[in-house]
Structure 1
Amino acid sequence: MGFAFNDVQRALIHNVRSFVRNEIIPLELELDPDESELRPSVLDGLRVKTKQMGLYNLDAPEEFGGPGLDTVTRTLLAMEMSQHRAGLYSACYGAFGQPDMAQLYEATDEQKERYLHPVLRGEKSSFFALTEPAGGSDPARSIQTRAKQDGDDWIINGTKVFISGADSADFGLVFARTGDRESGREGITCFIVDADTPGFTVRRVIHTLRSGHYPTELVFEDVRVPGSAVLGEVGQGFAMASERLTKNRIPYAAGCIGVAMAAHRLAIEYAGIRSVFGQKLADHEGIQWMLVENEIDIRSAALVTLDAAERADSGEPFRTEVALAKIVATEASGRVVDRAIQIHGGYGVTKDLPLERWYRELRIRRIGEGTTETQKMIVSRDLLRGRYAGLMDR
């Protein structure tokens, strides 16, 4: 298990790092500290540059015009892309393309033409509607939104919560129960629902610790969609969702680590210039230890997350590794930013610096994409059922 970067990875890291520091960070100096979107003309200009870099639509396979990155490389770039004020929930403001909707790569040709290709071209945006009021960490049992067949159509009724981007999207992937509750995971189907479909409503924006672009609550009241709106097979929607959620937790964890790296740099720099009691902060043992603890947290999280990425690339099962990465990265990054704020004192909680925004948004990361407790359940089950090969047993 070694993580020496190859020449291609080094070049990509350098290019993305330069893009963030030369294009994104200077731009943010002119924006509200909680901003998460750019004017279309500004975003279009940034996308021209990422296309020239060959890095537009980072998550798309090569056959769909993407760079076809392996998971390790994608993870390394996620660490770089998040190192700016809005990096956690608006990494580079979408300059590298739309969020990945991997399920659409398995769509029918007609569905690809209507939805996938416009998304890849930046002409349409989408949302992913899985979580419900009954619980987000156990979607297989908590989904109560139902879809009943009516001739060739399906009629959807239910509610979704904490759905990102639905208030501005053109369509969404909506997961509804088509079997009885006893059917569990096998009774959930994915539907493509256009945002202008009668009966579909964005009931409200949910204001959270997150800045700028907030999640939403959605209502489906007798939403009628044609049979052609089914994505994949009837009853197999949860398998599609689960695959996406598992792999997506790797760049999700990496984004947290990138923010921790940026916060750590700020803390080191400030400790070297700020004087208290006749000494620089960096000369105080307590501050030195805090910086060392930051370094330990960052390196530990990065190694665990890269291990998960390497495992994903190997084609072997990687569920346990991903769960561990999600736990370690989100928890450790929160500690790093907390220490960085403490080192900065009063300035650390002002909007002059990005630390307070990162502090708020990292707290959500311990809940989003499956809570820390849910990830621990995944790991413990694999350990107790003998499904997990220990680090020294591979």
Structure 2
Amino acid sequence: MDFTLSPRGESLRSRIQAFVDTELIPLERLPDAYDEHENISEASLHAMRAKAKASGLWSLQMPQERGGQGLNMMEMAACYEEMNRSIFGPVVFNSAAPDDGNMMVLNKVATPEQKQRWLQPIIDGEVRSSFAMTEPAPGSGSDPSMMRTTAERRGDHWVVNGTKHFITGAGAASHFILIARTSDDARKGLSAFLFHKDDPGWEIVRRIPIMGPEEHGGHCELRFTDMVIPDENRLMEVGDGLKLTQIRLGPARLTHCMRWLGLAKRSLEVASAYVSERESFGLKLAEREGVQWLLGEAAMSIQVGRLLTMHAAYRLDQGDFARKEVSMAKVAVADTLHQAVDTAIQLCGARGYSKDTPLEWIYRYARQARLVDGASEVHKMVLSRSLLKEGGSFWKWG
């Protein structure tokens, strides 16, 4: 199994690394580069996106004929890791959640007409998107079978009623993918639909406050009241909603891991620079054995996460769903991100706890990693079921 990047993949990786170092990390130090939710401001984002497009670093995950770079998952893993060494990186390159996952699933399953109307504007950066699936209790969270939002067919359209919450990016999105119940069938009871922000029959009830910095559009609660969706805006076949979520969430979970590894690496970069200069009791901190242990352990965890992520990317590139591999990467990298930034804050002391570095931003952001796209405990359940079913074949090569 060779993880060597193609020449083009390596070129894009190194160019993204240079862009992050010269454009984005300096931008993080400017107070007016942030919006009120601690993300990159719209003015700064517009300017940086223009530079990313001009540099040929735009929409890495999309086909070249649609204006992207056409990278495979292994190439994306290396490039996404580099871009999220900056807290502003993914959205600048049009590779941030939820647009990233939405673009990939629409490119796989949408009709040509749907791609032109709903996908292309996201690729071009003209609009943002959102994926409306999660519901308040007793509705669906990690268990889609509990979904209570319904879509009832009436002739050539569907009427939607229900509530969704923690819908990432909804406050700024124009294009939405909605998952709703269309029957009581255990496997084929959900269907997927597309709708536009200006369509009547739905509202944003509130933007839910969270502990961390927010993606553009926040995390919102939505209410649907007799919302009408034409059947032409249905994705895939009736009853394929669960299938669509599986197609979307596997790669989307892995791209989270790719980005989190970039944040983990950035955390150690900040800490390494500090301990290499800071002296205490006659020695630089980097010369102390306890500091070396902390850095070495965090660095090793990052490398383990990178190998798990790249292995899962390889399996996806081979056409496999890679459920085990993605779950293992998701659990391990979520823990690694928290370990890396926590270690960095500890080594930097009060400076790490302050806003003089991005560490406190990353620390607050990192806590969601063990929750989003399936809590770590759910992924461990998936792994346990695979082990019990496969036995020794769980660890087979190839």
Q: Distance in 2 between matches of 1:109 and 1:392?
A: 39
Q: Using a 3 Å threshold, how does the CA distance of structure 1 residues 369 and 136 change in structure 2: closer, same or farther? A: farther
Distance 1:176 1:153 in 2: 14
Say which SS state the counterpart of residue 185 (structure 1) adopts. coil
Match of 1:114 among 109, 113, 117: 117
Give RMSD over aligned pairs.
2.0
- Following superposition, the deviation at residue 120 of structure 1 comes to 2.1
Task: Name the CA shift for 1:136/1:339 in 2 (closer, same or farther; >3 Å).
Answer: farther
Alpha-carbon deviation of 1:164?
1.1
Query: Which residue number in structure 2 is paired with residue 48 of structure 1?
Result: 50
- AA aligned opposite 2:66: F
Farther-moved stretch of structure 1 (211-220 vs 384-393) = 384-393
1:8 offset after TM fit, Å?
A: 2.5
Residue 129 of structure 1: CA displacement?
Answer: 0.5
Q: How far off its partner does 1:293 sit?
A: 0.7
Q: Which moved more, 1:150-159 or 1:62-71?
A: 62-71
Q: Which residue of 2 aligns with 1:179?
A: 183
- Pairs within 5 Å for 1:150-169: 150-169=154-173
What is the match of residue 75 of structure 1? 77
User: Hey, what does 2:336 align to over in structure 1?
Assistant: 332
Q: Following TM superposition, by how much is the alpha carbon of 1:387 offset from its aligned partner in structure 2, in angstroms?
A: 8.3
- Cross-structure match for 1:5: 5
Instruction: Output the amino acid matched with 2:188.
Output: E
Q: Write the distance in 2 (CA, Å) between the matches of 1:95 and 1:112.
A: 17
1:393 equivalent in alignment to 2:397: yes
Is the counterpart of residue 26 in structure 1 residue 35 in structure 2? Answer: no
- Paired residues of 2:312 and 2:329 also in contact (CA < 8 A): yes
The answer to whether the 8 Å contact 1:155/1:224 transfers is yes
Task: Name the counterpart of 2:312.
Answer: 308
Does residue 238 of structure 2 align to residue 244 of structure 1?
A: no
Partner of 1:99: 100
Q: Which residue of 2 aligns with 1:353?
A: 357
CA distance in 1, matches of 2:86, 2:100: 18
- Give the aligned residue type for 2:27: L
Q: Distance in 2 between matches of 1:6 and 1:165?
A: 33
Which amino acid in structure 1 is aligned with residue 203 of structure 2? T
Which of 105, 114, 134 is matched with 1:131 structurally?
134
* Residue 121 of structure 1, CA deviation: 2.1
SS in structure 1 at match of 2:349: helix
Return closer, same or farther for 1:387/1:207 CA change in 2, 3 Å cut-off: farther
1:13–1:389 Cα change, 3 Å: farther
**How far, CA to CA, are the matches of 1:344 and 1:373 in structure 2?**
31
Residues of 2 paired with 1:258 and 1:365: CA distance? 13
Task: Quote the Cα distance in structure 2 between the aligned partners of 1:323 and 1:137.
Answer: 17
Moved more, 382-391 or 216-225: 382-391
Q: Unaligned regions of 5+ residues in structure 2, if any?
A: none
Deviations 1:206-237 (A, max 9, x none): 11122144211111011112222211111111
Question: Deviations along 1:309-359, whole A, 9 cap, x unmatched?
Answer: 111112234110000000111101211111110001111111111111111
Counterpart in the other structure of 1:191:
193
SS in 1 for 2:209: coil
Distance 1:72 1:288, change over 3 A: same
- Contact 1:170 1:195 (8 Å CA) reproduced: yes
- d(CA) in 2 for partners of 1:118, 1:7: 30
Q: CA deviation at 1:110?
A: 3.1
1:223 paired with 2:227, answer: yes
Does the C-alpha gap of structure 1 residues 60 and 5 become closer, same or farther in structure 2, counting only changes over 3 Å?
closer
Distance 1:283 1:109, change over 3 A: closer
Q: Post-superposition shift, 1:389?
A: 4.1
CA contact under 8 A between 2:249 and 2:373: conserved in structure 1?
Answer: yes
Q: Is the 8 A contact 1:198 1:223 kept in 2?
A: yes
Q: CA separation in 2, counterparts of 1:296 and 1:389?
A: 27
User: Could you state the TM-score of these two structures normalised by the residue count of structure 2?
Assistant: 0.92
Matched AA of 1:113: Q
In the aligned structure 2, how far is the partner of 1:327 from the partner of 1:282?
A: 30
Q: For 2:55 and 2:12, how far apart are their aligned partners in 1? A: 9
Structure 1 residues without counterparts, runs of 5 or longer: none
Partner of 2:149: 145
Matches within 5 A, 1:266-281: 266-281=270-285
1:380 CA drift (Å): 1.1
User: Mean Cα displacement is larger for which, 8-17 or 347-356?
Assistant: 8-17
* TM-score, normalised via structure 1 length: 0.92
Over 3 Å counting, the alpha-carbon distance change for 1:263 and 1:143 in structure 2 is same
Displacement of 1:378: 1.1
Query: What is the distance in 2 between the residues matched to 1:116 and 1:316?
Result: 24
Give, in angstroms, the shift of residue 384 of structure 1.
1.2
